[in-house]
Structure 1
Amino acid sequence: MSHQTVIVLDFGGQYNQLIARRVRECGVYCEVKPYTTPLEELKAMNPIGIIFTGGPNSVYEKNAPHVDPAIFTWGVPVLGICYGCQLMAHTLGGQVTAAQDDSAREYGKTVTYYDPSCRLFQNLPSCGVSWMSHGDYMAKVPEGFALVAHSDACPNVAIADEARGFYGVQYHPEVNHTENGIRMIRNFLYEVCGAAGDWSMGDYLRNAVTAIRERVGDGKVLLALSGGVDSSVCAALLAEAIGKQLTCVFVDHGLMRKDEGDEVEAAFAKWDLNFIRVDAETRFLLKLAGVSEPEHKRKIIGEEFIRVFEEEAKKIGRVDFLAQGTIYPDVIESGAGDAAVIKSHHNVGGLPDYVDFKEIIEPLRLLFKDEVRQLGRELGLPEYLVMRQPFPGPGLAIRVIGDLTKEKLDTLREADAIYRQEIAAAGEDQNINQYFAVLTNTRSVGVMGDGRTYDYTLALRAVTTSDFMTADWARIPYEVLDKISTRIVNEVSGINRIVYDITSKPPATIEWE
């Protein structure tokens, strides 16, 4: 696929993926590469611009990450963010030191003043709030650079050498806290790098279908379909490209939400592919009987899923490709090098040994989650599947606290369905990033009609978040919570008390187990 490309060079910054997402939101394709990537490899990508990310180090430290200085004689525009700004200054003859007093250190929202004659701030307000996070200070700016932004505490919040297309900002334009930050990134892309804006999901779909057909030829592809967003979009894209050459194995372990298994199967009825739905509920529940420890549940479910998939794959025989729904954050986080490694992902880097196949195919490995959702819409997947909320791999097994029974799972399914229905009916689904019910193992006394009850307590959880690393509990209106509670207690047997979780992350996690 041929697109103009911007390289995001990662120095271990916490916002590296967010920077890349912002670039793509502006209609420009980009890739995240570790700072250790050889210059010749970067040149081979023929980028129109390079962005240095932030990072936790100080540029003057002995083992701090650096780049080949030749990157600045290449003729490609560079935008340095936070550590990237200081690295640029340090490499080009400036001086970066630790701030000598608290006034030179800046963290959080800071009123900043911009020079609108600079191309980075063109057609933007001359004053706004920026998100700072730096304890070092540019004591000397490199020759050829002008000061183009300042704050009350810092005279060199942003520097620019417009003749060479070099820009450095000590704040983070990629985060929502920085006013007009995305427009600054857009200015760098279009006003400095000359971007054409040739990155769209429609183009990606057409190119991806062609590339898959060329690679697969007349071969056979096997995909384990979980029903999640990534695997579903992966399946739809492959189905669009190769139809009957694709076999999807959907392991229905009986741990999904109400009607989800049927919804997943219905979503793929429009494509002529081999769809195998394995009813394994009884098998999974037998394995999980009497197990209450959440990690033990996870291990059993993971191992049993592999066994079921293996059995189905053996019935099919040899396939040429094993498909996976790997997406770009998985690839970045599983990268090599001290800056790029965050965590390992089970579907990156190691090939499973229980299926007889020649190659692995990952048609979504260049896409972020929001782009995967866009691609799903382009493919015509229903909105309920495209916008499916994050759902744990073990499913409802870890939303039933304690041991599992089919009765408990069915009770939770019904209560959770009512919760989701009422949240959507109130329009609150547009304001909440994740919401679900948890069947606790706490029972309490209640009164229903003229009789005494001794039933389970159901907990409702709802959070707002931008990255799921931190989250705040959602302020659902009382009248909505009241309707949800009334319906669940009256319509779902076995529940006589509803509680609402008002704990943020941290200290809590989003899931209960």
Structure 2
Amino acid sequence: MQNQKILILNFGGQYDQLIARRVRECNVYCEVKPYTMTLQEIKDFNPIGIIFTGGPDSVYKENSYHPAEGIFELNIPILGICYSCQLLAHHLGGKVVAAGEDNAREYGKTITFYDNTCLLFEDLPEEGVSWMSHGDYMEKVPKGFKLTAHSEKCPNVAICDEDRMFYGVQFHPEVNHTANGKKMIRNFLYKVCNAVGDWTMEGYMHRCVEEIRQKVGTGQVLLALSGGVDSSVCAALFAEAIGKQLTCVFVDHGLLRKKEGDEVEAAFRRWDIHLIRVDAKERFLNRLAGVTEPEQKRKIIGEEFIRVFEEEGKKIGQTDFLAQGTIYPDVIESGKENAETIKSHHNVGGLPDFVDFKEIIEPLRLLFKDEVRELGKQLKLPKYMVMRQPFPGPGLAIRIIGEVTEEKLEILREADAIFRDEIEKADLENSMNQYFAALTNMKTVGVMGDGRTYDWAIALRSVTTEDFMTADWTRIPYEVLDRVSSRIVNEVPHVNRVLYDITSKPPSTVEFE
């Protein structure tokens, strides 16, 4: 049975993923598509509602983004956000102009007043903070629309034509800064679009397992298991669906965290699958010997991983399908049509060439990370795997500044394990999105016992973030940092100093390299 669907048309806005996540959190399925989608493609998608995202342009400019002609005649509810609120006005008989400094231009948190007779704001407070980011102004509201929200500066903060089910808001309800923003989106979904809330990970798991069985038939599937959340959940899904027809190749490159390789292997022994653990520690360290440049490390590790995978694939013989743990942000960030490429993801396009595959199967391709974690819980993966911290493909190699050696890896593993242990003991792991230890390339003078030391400095890093595009450093309580520091310098040989990174992204990145 098909889920109800919301179509999100992207007009170049920076919050398209966030809008999609908010819709999914309301148990309604949605997909982000480019604004260039044709009218027939929109009809074929068969959405119960459409959300237009924000965008950086002005609707009245010659080359600005506009939707397919005829979209407003489809009798489908539409919610326009920021740029797209003005898009509604521009296309339906209103007028949009540049706002003056003291006339309706607004940025940041803004006190906003709502008309609760509008379905979008029904059962919500009449006053609240909204997040504004607009330099244009609806000078004339289209015929048939009424004003449903205003601020001190701007009388036209929100508009609606409830007969045609068109709604527009100048602010961003999808961001946390907007009070009750998620409830506004929920109102649009349930009170305007008549959503029934049929999107759940339990339902998705059952459908996906059946679809994999039908697609694979009696064929064989090969999957590269990194031990990360995405590949682990993908492997568990295939294991549930086809058992012995799945071969997982777990390349242990020696750059994993403490006990991680054993934990990955143990987690998958509950399924009757062919799991190959390749001990490639020595060959990776040999390739990395003397290498200090971060990008070179990444390329060496990526290439060597493929070489090991190729070798194991040849031993297995002919395989029909390749499975990958590609998730939705990978697809969106890798760029498509009008969307700008944020970063290229290795698993979005490009396959190893050691065997001819009938098809690549990516069952997580349309899921966000939080949905992948929930799917992992449904598949009964252990909590330490489902909720594990994001971990880069090159592993600890890019958390060691400078050359990677076995001695440095052991130091970092122990320090990182202590940091994670103390965070969990303090019950803080759910208050931060990524935390880890890194080994700097700096030695400092210290005093331990009655003697002078000259040993390594460990840096701790923790961030909170919505989407990892921006991130703020975590305010970890001093007493927790004190315990971490004390344990590391006392329990980890050759470390005499612990630093805490208090830099946000930007200007820094989450990882050190």
TM more than 0.5:
yes
Instruction: Give 1:352 deviation, angstroms.
Output: 3.2
Matched with 1:81 is 81
Amino acid at match of 2:381: L
Instruction: Give 1:214 deviation, angstroms.
Output: 0.6
CA distances 1:238-284 after superposition (whole Å, capped 9, x unpaired): 10001000000000000000000001111111111110000000110
SS of residue in 2 equivalent to 1:137: strand
CA distance in 2, matches of 1:103, 1:139: 10
CA distance in 1, matches of 2:110, 2:387: 35
Instruction: Give 1:334 deviation, angstroms.
Output: 3.3
CA distance in 2, matches of 1:504, 1:88: 37
Matched with 1:482 is 482
Matching of residue 425 in structure 1 with residue 425 in structure 2: yes
CA distance in 1, matches of 2:396, 2:163: 58
Whether the 8 Å CA contact 1:106–1:134 is kept in 2: the answer is yes
Amino acid at match of 1:16: D
Amino acid at match of 1:57: D
Instruction: Give 1:351 deviation, angstroms.
Output: 3.3
Matched with 1:435 is 435
Matched with 2:284 is 284
Cα gap change, 1:290 to 1:488, in 2 (>3 Å): same
Whether the 8 Å CA contact 1:48–1:77 is kept in 2: the answer is yes
Whether the 8 Å CA contact 1:34–1:340 is kept in 2: the answer is no
Amino acid at match of 2:129: V
Matched with 2:505 is 505
CA distances 1:15-51 after superposition (whole Å, capped 9, x unpaired): 0011111111111111111110111111112111000
Matched with 1:91 is 91
SS of residue in 1 equivalent to 2:195: coil
Matched with 2:212 is 212
Instruction: Give 1:339 deviation, angstroms.
Output: 3.5
CA distances 1:270-299 after superposition (whole Å, capped 9, x unpaired): 111110000000110011111111111111
Instruction: Give 1:341 deviation, angstroms.
Output: 4.5
SS of residue in 2 equivalent to 1:338: coil
Whether the 8 Å CA contact 2:310–2:352 is kept in 1: the answer is no
More off after superposition, 147-156 vs 336-345:
336-345
Instruction: Give 1:343 deviation, angstroms.
Output: 3.9
CA distance in 2, matches of 1:510, 1:31: 27
Aligned length: 513
SS of residue in 1 equivalent to 2:103: helix
Instruction: Give 1:335 deviation, angstroms.
Output: 4.6
CA distance in 2, matches of 1:335, 1:508: 23
Instruction: Give 1:355 deviation, angstroms.
Output: 3.2
CA distance in 2, matches of 1:404, 1:325: 28
CA distances 1:72-108 after superposition (whole Å, capped 9, x unpaired): 1111110000111111110111111111334321100
CA distances 1:353-397 after superposition (whole Å, capped 9, x unpaired): 233322111011111111000000000011111111111111111
CA distance in 1, matches of 2:429, 2:341: 34
CA distance in 1, matches of 2:343, 2:94: 35
Matched with 2:378 is 378
Instruction: Give 1:448 deviation, angstroms.
Output: 1.8
Instruction: Give 1:415 deviation, angstroms.
Output: 1.0
Matched with 2:412 is 412
More off after superposition, 153-162 vs 433-442:
433-442
Whether the 8 Å CA contact 2:306–2:352 is kept in 1: the answer is no
Instruction: Give 1:452 deviation, angstroms.
Output: 2.3
Map 1:48-87 → 2, pairs under 5 A: 48-87=48-87
CA distance in 1, matches of 2:96, 2:340: 24
SS of residue in 2 equivalent to 1:460: strand
Matched with 1:26 is 26
Amino acid at match of 1:406: E
Amino acid at match of 2:511: E
SS of residue in 2 equivalent to 1:190: helix
Instruction: Give 1:458 deviation, angstroms.
Output: 1.0
CA distance in 2, matches of 1:470, 1:333: 14
CA distances 1:295-317 after superposition (whole Å, capped 9, x unpaired): 11111111100100000001011
Cα gap change, 1:438 to 1:343, in 2 (>3 Å): closer
CA distance in 2, matches of 1:455, 1:129: 51
More off after superposition, 502-511 vs 230-239:
502-511
Whether the 8 Å CA contact 1:85–1:170 is kept in 2: the answer is yes
More off after superposition, 491-500 vs 443-452:
443-452
Amino acid at match of 2:175: V
SS of residue in 1 equivalent to 2:512: coil
Cα gap change, 1:412 to 1:340, in 2 (>3 Å): closer
Aligned-CA RMSD value: 1.2
CA distance in 1, matches of 2:123, 2:69: 32
Cα gap change, 1:340 to 1:291, in 2 (>3 Å): closer
Amino acid at match of 1:231: S
SS of residue in 2 equivalent to 1:486: helix
Instruction: Give 1:340 deviation, angstroms.
Output: 5.8
Map 1:292-441 → 2, pairs under 5 A: 292-339=292-339, 341-441=341-441
Long gaps (5+) in structure 2? none
Matching of residue 266 in structure 1 with residue 271 in structure 2: no
Long gaps (5+) in structure 1? none
CA distances 1:129-183 after superposition (whole Å, capped 9, x unpaired): 1000100100111110000111110111000000010000000001111111111
Instruction: State TM-score, norm by structure 2.
Output: 0.98
CA distances 1:314-346 after superposition (whole Å, capped 9, x unpaired): 101111101111111222233532246544322
Map 1:166-185 → 2, pairs under 5 A: 166-185=166-185
Matched with 1:165 is 165
More off after superposition, 345-354 vs 207-216:
345-354
